[in-house]
Amino acid sequence: MLLNLSAEDQAFQDEVRSFMTESAPAALRQKVERNQTLTREDFLSWHRILYARGWIAPAWPVEFGGPGWSPMQRHIFQEELALASMPMIMPFGINMVGPVIMRFGNDTQRAKYLPRILSGEDWWCQGYSEPGSGSDLASLKTRAERDGDVYVVNGAKTWTTHANFADMMFCLVRTSNEGKRQNGITFLLIDMKSEGVTVKPIRTMDGGVEINEVFLDEVRVPVENLIGEEGRGWTYAKFLLGNERTGMARIGRSRKHLDRIRSIAAQEPLGDGTLLDDQKFQEKIAAIEIDILALESLVLQVLAEESAGTVPGPEASFLKIRGTEIEQAITELTMEAVGNYAMPYQPEVLEQGWNEEPVGPDYAVGAAPLYFNFRKASIYGGTNEIQKNIVARMILGV
């Protein structure tokens, strides 16, 4: 409501919105809105629709198949994607490894991988965290030893989102124990179908299976899958983290979700009216709405700075920290809104669809699982505490 879009951006928004109206599959929208479990094919079907339109990689340069949008247009696109209740574009290929390959890969790697990322032919996952290396990522121990023209990789990765769906993994491995530990880290691309790769799904407290352990046992990775130089992987990993900052604020998604809370509250009886008539509840919604408005203001500032060519400082971390705090507040309030029917646990409804009538209102089934699931948001992508350590170094320099 407050974007004050230029005529050009307004036309862009109209174009995106009408595309969403025409192209977003209704069944998929319903699944997203009810927080049902999305299958690999659910994600890919929508990926292919955006790919066909040329919109799958908003931030990619035109030469690699991007649409050539301004930062503001990318923001508008993300907003519209969320407002249409479509799944977010999976970041691992498009936002993470894609830009690394563009920047640090060689021509052969670019020609081989980038088109397959765009088309969705390769589903990527991120092999970073290990059982002994979480926030202290540089302590990672998965080893890669050179044997002729292959690396032999041994170790284990964990918390790997969608490894169970993935064709490829970009992976940080240790190639040296000499000197500074960051300098012994190498960035490798590993085919998940390689012999010695075992994926073991991890069930999380919400009942879902998004994350996995990945065991690497004598996995032979061709040397041509090395990105850049051996021992420079940490630099590439840091570059990767700096990408697509503004998307981390999840403004559109949060706003859409807040609308859903309003709609739920309007259907929840309370006294002679509904929960939406309750002033205290209204104020809880309003508090989150103001937080979103405030954070969106910072997003717009960062977008303007990006357009002007300045690199934001601590703002990237602020967007992540506050964006995830807002997401968590929203999922918590959703669960609060549904009241008693937050309690029945009905995983079959979320996983298989709605063949039988659920216990309680349909909007209630996913509320608590979503709340539980979103505790991840302040943990992944560098915990919010790690983000604060990073910013503290910037602003205090001690």
User: Which residues are designated catalytic?
Assistant: 244
Verify binding: residue 395, other proteins, rule CB under 8 A: yes
Question: Segment contacting other proteins (CB under 8 A): 69-77, 135-143, 301-309, 358-366?
Answer: 301-309
Among 291, 332, 336, 362, binds other proteins (CB under 8 A): 291
Among 101, 298, 335, 370, binds other proteins (CB under 8 A): 298
Q: Angle at Cα 20 formed by Cα 14 and Cα 25, nearest 5°?
A: 165
Determine how β-strand 273-274 pairs with β-strand 269-270: antiparallel
Q: Which is nearer to other proteins, 177 or 279 (CB)?
A: 279
Verify binding: residue 397, other proteins, rule CB under 8 A: yes
List Cα–Cα distances, 349 to 27, 145, 251, in angstroms: 15, 47, 28
Three-class SS state of 209: coil
- Cα torsion at 384, 389, 392, 394 (round to 10°)? -100
Q: Scan residues 365-394 and list those touching other proteins (CB under 8 A).
A: 385, 388-389, 391-392
Binding mask 79-98 for other proteins (x = CB under 8 A): --------------------
Q: SS3 string of 243-303?
A: CCCHHHHCHHHHHHHHHHHHHHHHHCEECCEEHHHCHHHHHHHHHHHHHHHHHHHHHHHHH
Task: Kindly state the number of chain residues that form the binding site for other proteins, as judged by CB under 8 A.
Answer: 39
Three-class SS state of 365: coil
Among 248, 321, 329, 330, binds other proteins (CB under 8 A): 321
Q: Which is nearer to other proteins, 245 or 322 (CB)?
A: 322
Among 301, 343, 348, 352, binds other proteins (CB under 8 A): 301
Q: Which is nearer to other proteins, 204 or 282 (CB)?
A: 282
Q: Scan residues 26-65 and list those touching other proteins (CB under 8 A).
A: none
Binding mask 220-259 for other proteins (x = CB under 8 A): ----------------------------------------
Contact 230, 175 (CB under 8 A): yes
Binding mask 153-182 for other proteins (x = CB under 8 A): ------------------------------
**DSSP state for residue 152 in the 8-state scheme:** E
Q: Scan residues 322-341 and list those touching other proteins (CB under 8 A).
A: 322
Question: Segment contacting other proteins (CB under 8 A): 137-145, 179-187, 287-295, 369-377?
Answer: 287-295
Among 2, 7, 26, 62, binds other proteins (CB under 8 A): 2
Verify binding: residue 7, other proteins, rule CB under 8 A: no
Question: Segment contacting other proteins (CB under 8 A): 75-83, 110-118, 145-153, 307-315?
Answer: 307-315
Site of tokens 């352990």: 213
Give 396's contacts (C-beta < 8 A, 6+ positions apart). none
Structure tokens at 242: 């700096």
Verify binding: residue 279, other proteins, rule CB under 8 A: yes
Report the first-to-last Cα separation within the chain, whole angstroms.
42
Q: Whose CA is closest to 72, among 308, 304, 255, 320?
A: 304
Give 111's contacts (C-beta < 8 A, 6+ positions apart). none
Verify binding: residue 135, other proteins, rule CB under 8 A: no
Question: Segment contacting other proteins (CB under 8 A): 98-106, 214-222, 224-232, 294-302?
Answer: 294-302
- How many C-beta atoms surround the C-beta of residue 263 within 10 A? 13
**Extended beta strands in the chain, E state:** 124-127, 143-147, 150-161, 168-174, 185-191, 197-202, 211-222, 269-270, 273-274
Minimum distance of other proteins from residue 184's CB (angstroms): 27
> What span, in angstroms and rounded, lies between the C-alpha atoms of 339 and 265?
10
> What span, in angstroms and rounded, lies between the C-alpha atoms of 73 and 378?
27
Q: Which is nearer to other proteins, 103 or 388 (CB)?
A: 388
Contact 156, 215 (CB under 8 A): yes
Strand partners, 257: none
Minimum distance of other proteins from residue 327's CB (angstroms): 16
Verify binding: residue 1, other proteins, rule CB under 8 A: yes
Verify binding: residue 72, other proteins, rule CB under 8 A: no
**Binding stretches for other proteins (CB under 8 A):** 1-2, 4, 262, 279, 282-283, 285-287, 289-291, 293-295, 297-298, 300-301, 304-305, 308, 310, 314-315, 317-318, 321-322, 385, 388-389, 391-392, 395-398
